[in-house]
Amino acid sequence: MLRPADRAWITLAVGVVAWDVLCEPGEMLSEASARYAKKHPVVAYAVIGSVAAHLTARIPPWVDPIHGLGVGLRRLKR
């Protein structure tokens, strides 16, 4: 049985593939990422590194900006 996070990952993957199939030429997510890295390399790689570190739990939650954003938004929901 799939857990909610498993379904979320599947949904994200389907969304990315759908976008890359249906988007205008030059607007694939990887092409956009390459544009960002070319124009703002420090910011682009910092964001990519932060997401990778978050997804692989390589940084403690108190340093993780994505974790902090999630906790903050969850508190607003209450």
- Look at residue 69 and give its three-state secondary structure: helix
Give the predicted TM-score (pTM) of the model: 0.78
What is the distance between the alpha carbons of residues 65 and 72, in angstroms, rounded to a whole number?
Answer: 10
The string of pLDDT tens digits covering residues 23-72 is 999 999 999 999 999 999 999 999 999 999 999 999 999 999 999 999 99
pLDDT value at position 78? 78
pLDDT value at position 77? 84
Going by C-alpha positions, the residue among 20, 38, 21, 42 that lies closest to residue 29 is 20
- Where are the domains positioned within the chain? 27-78
Amino acid sitting at position 67: H
List the structure tokens of 22: 């249906």
